[in-house]
Amino acid sequence: MVIKKLSLHNFRNYEDETFFFGEGLNVLTGKNAQGKTNCAEAVYYLCTGSSLRIRHDRQLIRHGETAASISAEALSRFGSVSLRADIYENRRELYVNGNKLTRAVDLLGNMNAVFFSPGELRLIQDGPDERRRFLNLSISQTSREYCTALLRYQKILDQRNNLLKNHDISLILETLPVWDEQLATYAARIVFRRRAFLKQLSPLACEAHSFLTDGAEILSVGAEEREETEEQIRERLIREFDNSRERDLRLGFTTVGPHRDDVKISIDGDEARGFASQGQARTAALSLKLAELAIFRDITGEAPVLILDDVMSELDLPRRKKLLSRIRDVQCILTCTHAERVLYGAECNKIRIQGGKIVP
């Protein structure tokens, strides 16, 4: 898949700008705070309907304006596709090939993206939510069904948590089993898909890490050994919800379920979180992203667009070269301040950005 053209209108610090991207490596250069990451963010937003940096879409609107618009034309193996997001202060409109979407999940899968930035270290070093977020964003891109299950699960979970805070115990005990039945249905779908994804991801991440470290380190990404059908997971979860009811009531929230799960990541047998050095964590995070890229390629039959935001300067020279050699056949949008220092003459389409404008 190749993004040919990206137009930004009142998006972040861009007023009106159109980028033309080439098939391989596209390098956005410029000093700090000029709009490189903003451009990368716009690409990611069109692929996923969300940004990794913000809570509210309105932050994407250029200061002093009331609406932003991002549009792109891409070429996938099924032909050309155009995407557009019009972002207003309290709502947004999404379009695929000019057709307005009634459900945001229908944006997913039209254009896939893998995003890697220094912030992705959190995936290794921070708590379980970062790893769940990775799974959720990643699996959602290739499965609208997963994304829908996730949204429904969250909604029922919120309602269940509200109920747990109620003071009417008999009401709670009467209503809870009904919620739990529904909650378990979506929870099982989530758990089942995550397991399948991790099973695929685990060897790919291990291989990528071994490639990046010349076999010096072994990365392992915990995949569940248990073989369970979705229905078996559902039945088990109903029992678990049931067993934790007393504790849930005492604490006022739901203490078990896929919103609490973690993925164990270790390097040479030691848990990476809290143990891995910055350098190791960076390489491990990159390995996960390369594995994600390989999975997308497997599932969709073509490579997603790879966004590398500001990561080259943080990798040592051998790793940079290895990374570049690995992504030769992938469209990549890479941002950095000094292209010469990170690319060593690799062939690329260079775009200079200054103050939210492309420098001709």
Ligand X SMILES: Nc1ncnc2c1ncn2[C@@H]1O[C@H](COP(=O)(O)OP(=O)(O)O)[C@@H](O)[C@H]1O
Residues that bind ligand X (CB under 6 A): 12-13, 30, 32-38, 59, 61-63, 335
Q: Which does 34 bind (CB under 5 to 8 A by kind): Mg ion, ligand X, none?
A: ligand X
Percentages of the chain per state (helix, strand, coil), in multiples of 5: 50, 20, 30
Under the criterion CB under 5 A, does residue 37 sit at the interface with Mg ion? yes
- In the list Mg ion, ligand X, none, the entry touching 62 (Cβ below 5 to 8 angstroms by class) is ligand X
Minimum CB separation from ligand X for residue 92, in Å? 15
Least CB distance to ligand X at residue 331 (A): 19
Answer whether 21's CB lies under 8 Å from 36's CB: no
Residue 163: C-alpha distances to residues 154, 156, 158, 245 (Å)? 14, 10, 9, 12
- Are the C-beta atoms of 217 and 210 separated by less than 8 Å? yes
d(CA 325, CA 346): 10
Q: Which is nearer to ligand X, 53 or 321 (CB)?
A: 53
Nearer to ligand X by C-beta: 143 or 335? 335
**Cβ-proximal residues to 63 (8 Å cutoff; 6+ apart), any chain:** none
* Listed ranges 34-42, 103-111, 155-163, 207-215: which one lies at the site for Mg ion (CB under 5 A): 34-42
Under 8 Å between Cβ of 323 and 130: no
Closer residue to ligand X (CB): 33 or 178 = 33
First to last CA, the chain: 26
Q: Is 58 helix (H, G, I), strand (E, B) or coil?
A: helix
Closer residue to ligand X, CB minimum distance, 13 or 202: 13
Comparing every residue's Cβ against Mg ion, the nearest one is: 37
Q: Which does 112 bind (CB under 5 to 8 A by kind): ligand X, Mg ion, none?
A: none
- CB nearer ligand X, residue 32 or residue 99: 32
Q: Is 156 exposed, middle or buried (0-12, 13-18, 19+ CB in 10 A)?
A: buried
Residue 207 CA to residue 221 CA, distance in Å, equals 11
C-beta of 35 vs 257, nearer to ligand X: 35
CB of 54 to ligand X, least distance (A): 9
| Binding at 319: pick from Mg ion, ligand X, none (beta carbon under 5-8 Å per type) | none
Strand partners, 349: 26
Q: Which is nearer to ligand X, 36 or 289 (CB)?
A: 36
Helices (H) and strands (E) in the chain, counts: 10, 15
Least Cβ distance, residue 103 to ligand X (angstroms): 27
Least separation, in Å, of the C-beta of 35 and Mg ion? 9
Among Mg ion, ligand X, none, residue 13 binds (CB under 5-8 Å by kind): ligand X
- Residue 287 interacts, among ligand X, Mg ion, none and using kind-specific CB cut-offs from 5 to 8 Å, with none
* CA pair distance 124, 50, nearest whole angstrom: 22
Contact 205, 221 (CB under 8 A): yes
Q: Which two tokens stand for residue 332?
A: 């990549």
Shorter beta-carbon distance to ligand X: residue 61 or 124? 61
Residue spans of alpha helices (H) in 258-338:
278-300, 317-326
To the nearest whole angstrom, how small is the minimum distance from the Cβ of residue 3 to Mg ion? 19
Q: Give the shortest CB-102-to-Mg ion separation in angstroms.
A: 34
| Binding of Mg ion by 29 (CB under 5 A) | no
The residues binding Mg ion (CB under 5 A) are 36-37
